[in-house]
């Protein structure tokens, strides 16, 4: 209860700040003195030293340790995020800032938020903050922000990769190469050109748009479903057709790509019934979030052949357990969550996190598009 | 010797035909009566019946059996192509037309040409006739033709797939998914965006041009080396820069794609010395022909890390033996020869072969761009 009052006060102060930049509120942040900042990333282990730009792992620590510590802040970095004895849990009660990523998500539950009495700011190094209970964060007056745009190109490129991997039946061919086999028929009987096929994206936000642009020269029929139509100029440029009704679009698609955030509305969107509405033999690419799909329904449809191929880098939960059905279903091309954490993306989201920390310490606003929760409000895509 | 005379006469007749369409030469072909046509394709086995459009395998026989036999021709189809006891060898002495493919190449040596006393026409179902001794075919007055354009889109799409597979370090991720592992760092430390990288194509013919067009929206630096500059309009459209000197282009490239035919000039083009000229950590994609590379030099450079990734679907010889070094070298993404034999491509090259057979029986010329050897002359790309 005391916490809630503090929170409200803090929110009010920040609200004041954003309109006035008063010396008082500036002071609140700038001379708040030593902050405790916790970063939760994936471990680099033996790979950490193999690339000087590998800043996204625990050891790389976004390349901001020296800078933070030179300012007197405490910076704790870990990959140990689950359960009551984890390093993250230990620091929850007194951390000020939590930096997390979608690739190795620190699940920030309402319970953790309640325990985090000093928490001011949740930063996502990357895009997608659904590992945070955003409603709880909003109710607690916290700010949640992402590095919007930092890896949209990375993800869009990776989606095109996965479309081609499935359309061309690439993996059985690779398997033959490494096992000493040579059986062209075993690949070719279900390998197709992408040209002339119908590709539909469920969601045409930043990533969906970049995918449509990259698909344009392949001479496909491009469809998109979203709440709103995209810019008419981009529609013209890509030739993509708007489909207002998702269930009307699905049966037309040879390939479906999921490009929607995980929200209360999209959780479990592709359940057994919706998958049944897709064309028999559909290929599905999902680099958005695993929980948009019904896990078992996807596995069953891959087994029956209704889905002829499924590829993505997102699972629920993450890391995916050893017995996750998507590891074993036929015709999948799954990977761990990697598409948004290329070396190029890491450098961009590390720079974005540093920029937001600098602004936070100075009591300045972030770039508007970075906010996921601001002053008790969720960004529009999460509402 | 008698054969050579016959050949010269035949060539003269065909030469006459192409200018005059005289009833005499027309008759020569049209009422030549029963022809023996042999097709050498890869076996479909259990996959043959899995797709009604799978016409490229032995069982599918390009879908022209009924049509050929209804005209009284004999049509023998096999995958048995090597050695003195093979089905192909048995029919060499009296076949009139040989249809072969690059995917399961019937090696047509000078010796086989010498034995093939009735041979008139060599058709390649696909593109790339380097499995035929073209000089021997020209000297013997034979016609060699391909279905030019039938699978250029298929191959170009597949090249982009392979570029992305290597740039994104896709395969170690897939391997983790199927083995129950989850180690984002082991993938991410060498996964990159394609955006901003320098891609050079060695050869900018039909396939190279299609690749450049498909790469355009990825915002890369595009370079190309060829004997001639491409159309200025296409250069402007793709932003690709001409590199007259191959060895000057190579050190600039993060990714090199081979798009040149196999000729006396390109055989072994990428030997140890030329690979050493490439940037350390270069990625190489080769869907052109395996023999353009020095096999062991590629394997050694992959082992040393000078080549950071190599992907292609072409080998020498084909099928690749179980002990081919490219099956075992690190960081490869090889497959059997499949990029040009998608179902879409099969339907196109089957139609193209049928069209040329019809024209041949009627004594008509083929589309000019299909000729590889015509009236003793090799097509320009093979000279």
Closest-CA residue of chain B to A212: B217
pLDDT at A145 over 60: yes
What pLDDT sits at residue B79? 98
Active site residues of B: 151, 289, 318, 337
Cross-chain residue pair B191–A327, CB shorter than 8 Å: no
What pLDDT sits at residue B380? 87
Cross-chain residue pair B178–A327, CB shorter than 8 Å: yes
Task: Please give, rounded to a whole number of angstroms, the shortest distance from the CA of A57 to a CA of chain B.
Answer: 7
Cross-chain residue pair A45–B184, CB shorter than 8 Å: no
Query: Is residue B292 part of an annotated ligand binding site?
Result: no
Closest-CA residue of chain B to A164: B161
Average pLDDT value over all residues in chain A: 92
Which helix (H) or strand (E) segment is B302 a member of? helix B295-304
Q: Nearest to residue A341, comparing CAs of A321, A359, A318, A358? A: A318
Task: Please give, rounded to a whole number of angstroms, the shortest distance from the CA of A72 to a CA of chain B.
Answer: 29
Nearest 5°: the CA angle A211, A214, A217 is: 140
Cross-chain residue pair A157–B218, CB shorter than 8 Å: yes
Known catalytic membership, residue A337: yes
Show the tokens assigned to A198: 């119908």
pLDDT at A166 over 70: yes
pLDDT digits (tens, 9 = 90+) for B238-250: 999 999 999 999 9
Query: Is residue B339 part of an annotated ligand binding site?
Result: yes
Band (A80; pLDDT cuts 50, 70, 90): very high
What pLDDT sits at residue A381? 81
Query: Is residue B96 part of an annotated ligand binding site?
Result: no
pLDDT at A172 over 90: yes
What pLDDT sits at residue A32? 60
Cross-chain residue pair A47–B185, CB shorter than 8 Å: yes
Contacts of B267 (CB under 8 A, 6+ apart): B291, B292
Task: Please give, rounded to a whole number of angstroms, the shortest distance from the CA of B50 to a CA of chain A.
Answer: 7
Task: Please give, rounded to a whole number of angstroms, the shortest distance from the CA of B75 to a CA of chain A.
Answer: 21
Query: Is residue B199 part of an annotated ligand binding site?
Result: no
Q: Which residues of A touch B192 (CB under 8 A)?
A: 342-344
φ/ψ of B74, rounded to 5, equals -100, 135
Query: Is residue B261 part of an annotated ligand binding site?
Result: yes
Known catalytic membership, residue A318: yes
Query: Is residue B306 part of an annotated ligand binding site?
Result: no
**Cα-Cα-Cα-Cα dihedral sign, residues A55, A57, A62, A65:** negative
Cross-chain residue pair A185–B216, CB shorter than 8 Å: no
Length of chain A: 383
First to last CA, chain A: 26
Tell me which residue in A187, A217, A344 faces B335 most closely, judged by beta carbons.
A187
Residue bearing tokens 């049928």? B354
Cross-chain residue pair B214–A217, CB shorter than 8 Å: yes
Q: Which residues of B touch A170 (CB under 8 A)?
A: 161, 165, 335
Asked if B151 contacts B306 with a C-beta cutoff of 8 angstroms, the reply is no
Count of CB atoms situated within 10 Å of the CB of B380: 7
Q: Which residues of B touch A125 (CB under 8 A)?
A: none
CA dihedral B131, B133, B137, B140 (to 10 degrees): -150
What pLDDT sits at residue B23? 31
What value of ipTM does the predicted structure carry? 0.90
Count of CB atoms situated within 10 Å of the CB of A35: 21
φ/ψ of B283, rounded to 5, equals -110, 135
Tell me which residue in B42, B190, B320 faces A51 most closely, judged by beta carbons.
B190
What pLDDT sits at residue B144? 98
Q: Which residues of B touch A312 (CB under 8 A)?
A: none
pLDDT digits (tens, 9 = 90+) for A310-332: 999 999 999 999 999 999 999 99
Among residues of chain A, what percentage have pLDDT more than 70?
Answer: 92
What pLDDT sits at residue B383? 81
Half-sphere exposure of B331 (CA within 13 A, CB side): 26
Low-confidence ranges of chain B (pLDDT < 50): 1-31
Set A169, A259, A286, A318: catalytic member: A318
Rounded to two decimals, the pTM is: 0.90
Cross-chain residue pair A338–B186, CB shorter than 8 Å: no
Go through A235-252 and write b for each residue having 16 or more CB atoms within 10 A of its CB, e for each that does not. beebebeebeebeebbee
Asked if A290 contacts A319 with a C-beta cutoff of 8 angstroms, the reply is no
Closest-CA residue of chain B to A188: B342
Q: Nearest to residue A153, comparing CAs of A355, A370, A347, A342? A: A342
pLDDT digits (tens, 9 = 90+) for A208-233: 999 999 999 999 999 999 999 999 99
What pLDDT sits at residue B259? 98
What pLDDT sits at residue A109? 97
Show the tokens assigned to B191: 């996964």
Cross-chain residue pair B341–A184, CB shorter than 8 Å: yes
Cis peptide before B378 (omega within 30 of 0): no
Query: Is residue A23 part of an annotated ligand binding site?
Result: no
Q: Which residues of B touch A183 (CB under 8 A)?
A: 42, 45, 336
- Residue pairs spanning A and B at CB distance below 8 A: 223
Cross-chain residue pair A185–B160, CB shorter than 8 Å: no
The CA distances from residue B160 to B85, B150, B153, B201, in Å, are 41, 18, 11, 12
pLDDT digits (tens, 9 = 90+) for A229-271: 999 999 999 999 999 999 999 999 999 999 999 999 999 999 9
Contacts of B89 (CB under 8 A, 6+ apart): B83, B112
Query: Is residue B207 part of an annotated ligand binding site?
Result: yes
Go through A359-374 and write b for each residue having 16 or more CB atoms within 10 A of its CB, e for each that does not. bbbebebbeeebbbbb
Known catalytic membership, residue A227: no
Closest-CA residue of chain B to A53: B189
pLDDT digits (tens, 9 = 90+) for A20-53: 333 333 233 444 679 999 999 999 999 999 999 9
DSSP state string for A141-183: T-EEEE-TTSSHHHHHHHHHHHHHHHHTTHHHHHHHHHHT---
CA dihedral B326, B332, B337, B338 (to 10 degrees): 170
B219 burial type by CB count under 10 A (0-12 exposed, 13-18 middle, 19+ buried)? middle
Half-sphere exposure of A332 (CA within 13 A, CB side): 29
Scanning chain A, the segments in alpha helix (DSSP H) are 2-20, 23-30, 65-70, 87-91, 110-115, 134-139, 152-167, 170-179, 184-188, 206-215, 232-238, 246-249, 272-277, 295-304, 343-362
Distance from C-alpha of A39 to C-alpha of A101, rounded to nearest angstrom: 9
Q: Which residues of B touch A54 (CB under 8 A)?
A: 185, 188-189
Cross-chain residue pair A193–B153, CB shorter than 8 Å: yes
Closest-CA residue of chain A to B171: A335
């Amino acid at each position: 209860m005391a916490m809630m009052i503090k929170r409200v006060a803090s929110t009010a102060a920040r609200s004041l700040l954003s309109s006035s930049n008063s010396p008082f509120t500036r002071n609140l942040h700038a001379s708040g003195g030593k902050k405790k900042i916790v970063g939760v990333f994936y471990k680099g282990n033996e790979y950490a030293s193999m690339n000087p730009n590998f800043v996204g792992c625990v050891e790389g620590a976004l390349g901001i340790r020296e800078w933070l510590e030179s300012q007197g802040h405490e910076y704790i970095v870990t990959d140990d995020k689950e359960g009551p004895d984890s390093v993250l849990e230990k620091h929850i009660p007194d951390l000020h800032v939590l930096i997390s990523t979608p690739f190795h998500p620190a699940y920030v539950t309402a319970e953790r938020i309640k325990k985090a009495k000093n928490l001011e700011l949740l930063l996502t190094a990357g895009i997608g903050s659904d590992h945070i209970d955003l409603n709880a964060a909003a109710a607690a007056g916290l700010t949640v922000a992402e590095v919007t745009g930092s890896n949209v190109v990375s993800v869009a490129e990776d989606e095109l990769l996965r479309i081609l991997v499935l359309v061309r039946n690439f993996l059985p061919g690779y398997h033959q190469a490494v096992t000493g086999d040579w059986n062209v028929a075993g690949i070719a009987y279900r390998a197709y050109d992408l040209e002339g096929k119908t590709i539909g994206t469920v969601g045409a936000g930043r990533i969906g748009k970049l995918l449509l642009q990259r698909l344009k020269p392949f001479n496909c029929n491009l469809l998109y479903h979203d709440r709103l139509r995209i810019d008419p100029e981009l529609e013209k440029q890509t030739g993509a057709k708007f489909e207002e009704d998702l269930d009307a679009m699905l049966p037309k698609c040879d390939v479906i790509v999921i490009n929607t955030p995980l929200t209360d509305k999209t959780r479990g969107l592709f359940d057994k019934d919706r998958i049944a509405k897709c064309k028999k033999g559909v290929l599905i690419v999902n680099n958005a979030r695993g929980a948009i799909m019904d896990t078992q329904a996807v596995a069953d449809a891959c087994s029956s052949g209704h889905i002829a191929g499924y590829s993505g880098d997102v699972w629920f939960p993450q890391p995916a357990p050893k017995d996750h059905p998507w590891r074993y279903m036929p015709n999948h091309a799954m990977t761990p969550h990697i598409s948004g954490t290329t070396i190029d993306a890491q450098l961009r989201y590390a720079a974005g996190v540093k920029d937001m920390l600098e602004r936070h310490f100075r009591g300045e606003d972030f770039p508007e598009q970075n906010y996921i929760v601001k002053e008790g409000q969720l960004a529009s895509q999460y509402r």
